[in-house]
Structure 1
Protein backbone atom coordinates (compact mmCIF):
# COMPACT_ATOMS: atom_id res chain seq x y z
CA UNK A 1 0.00 0.00 0.00
CA UNK A 2 1.34 3.42 -0.92
CA UNK A 3 2.06 6.17 1.58
CA UNK A 4 1.44 9.87 1.04
CA UNK A 5 2.99 13.12 2.23
CA UNK A 6 1.23 16.31 3.26
CA UNK A 7 2.74 19.80 3.12
CA UNK A 8 1.70 23.44 3.31
CA UNK A 9 1.60 25.19 -0.06
CA UNK A 10 3.13 28.46 1.08
CA UNK A 11 2.53 31.44 -1.20
CA UNK A 12 -0.52 30.05 -3.00
CA UNK A 13 -4.01 31.33 -2.34
CA UNK A 14 -5.76 28.74 -4.51
CA UNK A 15 -5.28 25.60 -6.55
CA UNK A 16 -5.28 27.82 -9.63
CA UNK A 17 -2.28 29.73 -8.20
CA UNK A 18 -0.43 26.44 -7.78
CA UNK A 19 -1.28 25.33 -11.32
CA UNK A 20 -0.10 28.68 -12.72
CA UNK A 21 3.16 28.45 -10.76
CA UNK A 22 3.78 24.88 -12.02
CA UNK A 23 3.15 25.93 -15.64
CA UNK A 24 5.48 28.94 -15.24
CA UNK A 25 8.33 26.85 -13.73
CA UNK A 26 7.99 24.11 -16.37
CA UNK A 27 8.09 26.74 -19.12
CA UNK A 28 11.20 28.30 -17.52
CA UNK A 29 12.94 24.92 -17.50
CA UNK A 30 11.92 24.23 -21.10
CA UNK A 31 13.35 27.58 -22.27
CA UNK A 32 16.57 27.04 -20.26
CA UNK A 33 17.11 23.61 -21.84
CA UNK A 34 16.78 21.89 -18.45
CA UNK A 35 14.85 18.68 -17.83
CA UNK A 36 11.17 19.57 -17.88
CA UNK A 37 10.01 18.12 -14.60
CA UNK A 38 8.33 19.56 -11.56
CA UNK A 39 9.93 19.07 -8.17
CA UNK A 40 10.02 20.43 -4.66
CA UNK A 41 13.29 20.57 -2.74
CA UNK A 42 13.15 19.68 0.93
CA UNK A 43 15.78 19.19 3.63
CA UNK A 44 14.58 15.89 5.01
CA UNK A 45 14.67 12.68 2.97
CA UNK A 46 11.66 10.44 3.66
CA UNK A 47 12.85 7.19 5.19
CA UNK A 48 9.82 5.42 3.72
CA UNK A 49 10.56 6.56 0.15
CA UNK A 50 9.84 3.19 -1.47
CA UNK A 51 6.29 3.24 -0.05
CA UNK A 52 5.76 6.79 -1.29
CA UNK A 53 6.88 6.32 -4.89
CA UNK A 54 4.66 3.24 -5.11
CA UNK A 55 1.64 5.40 -5.97
CA UNK A 56 1.79 7.98 -3.18
CA UNK A 57 0.95 11.66 -3.56
CA UNK A 58 1.84 14.93 -1.94
CA UNK A 59 -1.32 16.51 -0.55
CA UNK A 60 -1.13 20.32 -0.59
CA UNK A 61 -2.63 22.37 2.25
CA UNK A 62 -3.76 25.71 0.82
CA UNK A 63 -5.22 28.35 3.13
CA UNK A 64 -5.85 25.87 5.96
CA UNK A 65 -7.41 23.08 3.88
CA UNK A 66 -6.08 20.14 1.93
CA UNK A 67 -7.37 21.07 -1.53
CA UNK A 68 -5.34 19.04 -4.01
CA UNK A 69 -2.63 16.47 -4.53
CA UNK A 70 0.14 15.56 -6.95
CA UNK A 71 1.47 12.08 -7.64
CA UNK A 72 5.06 11.63 -6.45
CA UNK A 73 7.00 9.86 -9.18
CA UNK A 74 10.50 9.86 -7.64
CA UNK A 75 12.50 10.91 -4.59
CA UNK A 76 16.09 12.02 -5.24
CA UNK A 77 18.44 12.75 -2.34
CA UNK A 78 21.40 15.05 -3.13
CA UNK A 79 23.97 17.27 -1.44
CA UNK A 80 23.75 20.98 -2.19
CA UNK A 81 26.64 23.39 -2.87
CA UNK A 82 27.06 24.02 0.87
CA UNK A 83 27.38 20.30 1.66
CA UNK A 84 23.90 20.03 3.16
CA UNK A 85 21.86 16.92 2.41
CA UNK A 86 18.60 17.68 0.65
CA UNK A 87 15.96 15.85 -1.32
CA UNK A 88 13.90 16.51 -4.45
CA UNK A 89 10.37 15.22 -4.54
CA UNK A 90 9.56 14.74 -8.23
CA UNK A 91 5.89 15.16 -9.19
CA UNK A 92 3.56 14.43 -12.02
CA UNK A 93 2.68 18.03 -12.95
CA UNK A 94 -1.05 17.28 -13.05
CA UNK A 95 -2.84 18.67 -10.01
CA UNK A 96 -5.76 16.57 -8.78
CA UNK A 97 -8.34 18.44 -6.73
CA UNK A 98 -9.56 16.73 -3.57
CA UNK A 99 -12.37 17.15 -1.10
CA UNK A 100 -11.35 19.89 1.28
CA UNK A 101 -10.02 18.76 4.63
CA UNK A 102 -9.10 21.30 7.33
CA UNK A 103 -5.48 21.20 8.59
CA UNK A 104 -3.64 23.31 11.12
CA UNK A 105 -0.32 24.86 10.16
CA UNK A 106 2.84 22.76 10.60
CA UNK A 107 6.42 22.90 9.37
CA UNK A 108 7.94 20.66 6.74
CA UNK A 109 6.09 17.64 5.46
CA UNK A 110 4.37 14.79 7.29
CA UNK A 111 3.45 11.26 6.33
CA UNK A 112 -0.24 10.81 5.48
CA UNK A 113 -1.82 7.37 5.54
CA UNK A 114 -4.24 6.63 2.68
CA UNK A 115 -7.03 6.16 5.23
CA UNK A 116 -6.50 9.76 6.46
CA UNK A 117 -6.27 11.35 3.01
CA UNK A 118 -9.25 13.15 1.50
CA UNK A 119 -10.93 11.64 -1.53
CA UNK A 120 -10.39 13.08 -4.99
CA UNK A 121 -13.05 15.69 -5.73
CA UNK A 122 -16.18 14.03 -7.06
CA UNK A 123 -15.27 10.56 -5.78
CA UNK A 124 -17.12 11.10 -2.52
CA UNK A 125 -19.65 13.89 -2.41
CA UNK A 126 -20.41 14.63 -6.08
CA UNK A 127 -22.26 17.87 -5.20
CA UNK A 128 -18.99 19.37 -3.91
CA UNK A 129 -17.34 18.89 -7.30
CA UNK A 130 -20.06 21.00 -8.93
CA UNK A 131 -19.83 23.77 -6.34
CA UNK A 132 -17.89 26.90 -7.36
CA UNK A 133 -14.47 27.11 -5.62
CA UNK A 134 -15.34 30.47 -4.01
CA UNK A 135 -18.46 29.00 -2.38
CA UNK A 136 -16.47 25.95 -1.20
CA UNK A 137 -13.91 28.32 0.37
CA UNK A 138 -16.61 30.31 2.17
CA UNK A 139 -18.26 27.13 3.49
CA UNK A 140 -14.89 25.75 4.58
CA UNK A 141 -14.06 29.02 6.36
CA UNK A 142 -17.36 28.69 8.24
CA UNK A 143 -16.47 25.10 9.19
CA UNK A 144 -19.31 23.66 7.16
CA UNK A 145 -17.15 21.48 4.86
Structure 2
Protein backbone atom coordinates (compact mmCIF):
# COMPACT_ATOMS: atom_id res chain seq x y z
CA UNK A 1 0.00 0.00 0.00
CA UNK A 2 1.23 3.48 -0.86
CA UNK A 3 2.26 5.96 1.78
CA UNK A 4 1.67 9.65 1.13
CA UNK A 5 2.95 12.92 2.52
CA UNK A 6 0.88 15.95 3.49
CA UNK A 7 2.15 19.51 3.66
CA UNK A 8 0.83 23.05 4.00
CA UNK A 9 0.93 24.99 0.74
CA UNK A 10 2.08 28.26 2.28
CA UNK A 11 1.47 31.38 0.22
CA UNK A 12 -0.98 29.85 -2.25
CA UNK A 13 -4.47 31.33 -2.41
CA UNK A 14 -5.86 28.28 -4.16
CA UNK A 15 -5.16 25.37 -6.47
CA UNK A 16 -4.89 27.65 -9.51
CA UNK A 17 -2.27 29.70 -7.68
CA UNK A 18 -0.30 26.48 -7.00
CA UNK A 19 -0.57 25.47 -10.66
CA UNK A 20 0.69 28.90 -11.77
CA UNK A 21 3.63 28.65 -9.36
CA UNK A 22 4.54 25.21 -10.75
CA UNK A 23 4.42 26.51 -14.35
CA UNK A 24 6.57 29.50 -13.38
CA UNK A 25 9.19 27.33 -11.64
CA UNK A 26 9.33 24.85 -14.54
CA UNK A 27 9.81 27.71 -17.04
CA UNK A 28 12.52 29.17 -14.80
CA UNK A 29 14.41 25.85 -14.69
CA UNK A 30 14.06 25.38 -18.44
CA UNK A 31 15.39 28.91 -19.12
CA UNK A 32 18.37 28.14 -16.86
CA UNK A 33 19.14 25.00 -18.89
CA UNK A 34 18.11 22.67 -16.07
CA UNK A 35 15.88 19.60 -16.23
CA UNK A 36 12.20 20.57 -16.22
CA UNK A 37 11.49 18.89 -12.89
CA UNK A 38 9.18 20.17 -10.22
CA UNK A 39 11.16 20.10 -6.98
CA UNK A 40 9.92 20.89 -3.50
CA UNK A 41 12.73 21.41 -1.00
CA UNK A 42 12.25 20.46 2.63
CA UNK A 43 14.53 20.11 5.64
CA UNK A 44 13.59 16.65 6.83
CA UNK A 45 14.06 13.51 4.75
CA UNK A 46 11.28 10.88 4.92
CA UNK A 47 12.58 7.58 6.31
CA UNK A 48 9.96 5.43 4.54
CA UNK A 49 10.97 6.33 0.99
CA UNK A 50 10.38 2.82 -0.41
CA UNK A 51 6.70 3.13 0.49
CA UNK A 52 6.43 6.60 -1.06
CA UNK A 53 8.45 6.86 -4.29
CA UNK A 54 6.38 6.10 -7.37
CA UNK A 55 3.41 5.02 -5.26
CA UNK A 56 2.49 7.93 -3.03
CA UNK A 57 1.52 11.56 -3.47
CA UNK A 58 2.09 14.85 -1.72
CA UNK A 59 -1.29 16.16 -0.56
CA UNK A 60 -1.46 19.94 -0.32
CA UNK A 61 -3.34 21.79 2.44
CA UNK A 62 -4.49 25.14 1.07
CA UNK A 63 -6.45 27.57 3.24
CA UNK A 64 -7.00 24.94 5.96
CA UNK A 65 -8.26 22.20 3.63
CA UNK A 66 -6.66 19.36 1.72
CA UNK A 67 -7.57 20.30 -1.85
CA UNK A 68 -5.17 18.57 -4.24
CA UNK A 69 -2.22 16.25 -4.63
CA UNK A 70 0.82 15.63 -6.78
CA UNK A 71 2.39 12.23 -7.40
CA UNK A 72 5.85 11.80 -5.81
CA UNK A 73 8.39 10.74 -8.42
CA UNK A 74 11.55 10.72 -6.30
CA UNK A 75 13.07 11.83 -3.00
CA UNK A 76 16.65 13.13 -3.15
CA UNK A 77 18.55 14.02 0.03
CA UNK A 78 21.34 16.59 -0.38
CA UNK A 79 23.49 19.01 1.60
CA UNK A 80 23.08 22.70 0.76
CA UNK A 81 25.86 25.27 0.38
CA UNK A 82 25.73 26.03 4.12
CA UNK A 83 26.21 22.38 5.05
CA UNK A 84 22.58 21.80 6.08
CA UNK A 85 20.96 18.48 5.15
CA UNK A 86 17.88 18.96 3.01
CA UNK A 87 15.67 16.98 0.68
CA UNK A 88 14.25 17.52 -2.81
CA UNK A 89 10.85 15.92 -3.23
CA UNK A 90 10.47 15.47 -6.99
CA UNK A 91 6.81 15.88 -7.95
CA UNK A 92 4.82 15.19 -11.07
CA UNK A 93 3.82 18.71 -12.20
CA UNK A 94 0.23 17.57 -12.82
CA UNK A 95 -2.03 18.68 -9.94
CA UNK A 96 -4.94 16.35 -9.16
CA UNK A 97 -7.98 17.84 -7.41
CA UNK A 98 -9.23 15.91 -4.39
CA UNK A 99 -12.37 16.09 -2.33
CA UNK A 100 -11.92 18.91 0.14
CA UNK A 101 -11.06 17.82 3.66
CA UNK A 102 -10.39 20.13 6.63
CA UNK A 103 -6.91 19.98 8.18
CA UNK A 104 -5.50 21.92 11.12
CA UNK A 105 -2.17 23.74 10.71
CA UNK A 106 1.07 21.84 11.39
CA UNK A 107 4.76 22.33 10.67
CA UNK A 108 6.76 20.52 8.02
CA UNK A 109 5.32 17.46 6.33
CA UNK A 110 3.55 14.45 7.82
CA UNK A 111 2.92 10.92 6.62
CA UNK A 112 -0.61 10.31 5.34
CA UNK A 113 -1.91 6.78 5.01
CA UNK A 114 -3.87 6.02 1.84
CA UNK A 115 -6.99 5.17 3.83
CA UNK A 116 -6.89 8.64 5.46
CA UNK A 117 -6.35 10.54 2.21
CA UNK A 118 -9.29 12.21 0.48
CA UNK A 119 -10.42 10.68 -2.79
CA UNK A 120 -9.69 12.35 -6.11
CA UNK A 121 -12.48 14.33 -7.70
CA UNK A 122 -13.81 11.93 -10.27
CA UNK A 123 -14.03 14.03 -13.39
CA UNK A 124 -16.80 11.60 -14.20
CA UNK A 125 -19.18 14.12 -15.68
CA UNK A 126 -20.75 15.39 -12.46
CA UNK A 127 -19.02 18.76 -12.96
CA UNK A 128 -17.81 19.08 -9.36
CA UNK A 129 -14.20 19.64 -10.43
CA UNK A 130 -15.24 22.62 -12.56
CA UNK A 131 -16.78 24.48 -9.59
CA UNK A 132 -14.67 27.19 -7.94
CA UNK A 133 -12.73 25.84 -4.94
CA UNK A 134 -14.56 28.10 -2.47
CA UNK A 135 -17.91 26.77 -3.65
CA UNK A 136 -16.69 23.14 -3.51
CA UNK A 137 -15.43 23.72 0.05
CA UNK A 138 -18.72 25.28 1.16
CA UNK A 139 -20.78 22.48 -0.41
CA UNK A 140 -18.52 19.94 1.31
CA UNK A 141 -19.00 21.64 4.69
CA UNK A 142 -22.76 21.51 4.14
CA UNK A 143 -22.52 17.79 3.37
CA UNK A 144 -23.86 18.22 -0.15
CA UNK A 145 -20.82 16.72 -1.92
Question: If the length of structure 2 is used for normalisation, what is the TM-score?
Answer: 0.91
- Counterpart of 2:115? 115
Structure 1 ranges of 4+ moved more than 2 A: 126-134, 137-140
Give the Cα separation in 2 of the matches to 1:135 and 1:72.
Answer: 28
In 1, distance between residues paired with 2:68 and 2:48? 22
Q: For residue 100 of structure 1, report the CA deviation from its aligned partner.
A: 0.3
Unaligned runs of 5+ in 2: none
CA distance in 1, matches of 2:102, 2:45: 26
1:60-106: CA deviations, max 9, x gaps?
00001000000000000001111111100000100000000000000
SS at match of 1:29: helix
CA contact (8 A) 2:54 2:71 kept: no
Aligned: 1:91 with 2:86: no
Deviations 1:12-61 (A, max 9, x none): 01100000000001001111101110010001000001100041000000
Name 2:142's counterpart in structure 1. Answer: 144
TM-score by length of 1: 0.91
Partner of 2:71: 71
CA contact (8 A) 1:5 1:58 kept: yes
- Runs of 5+ consecutive residues of structure 1 not aligned to the other structure: none
| 8 Å CA contact 1:15, 1:67 repeated in 2 | yes
Q: In the aligned structure 2, how far is the partner of 1:46 from the partner of 1:8?
A: 16
Helix, strand or coil for the counterpart of 1:36?
coil
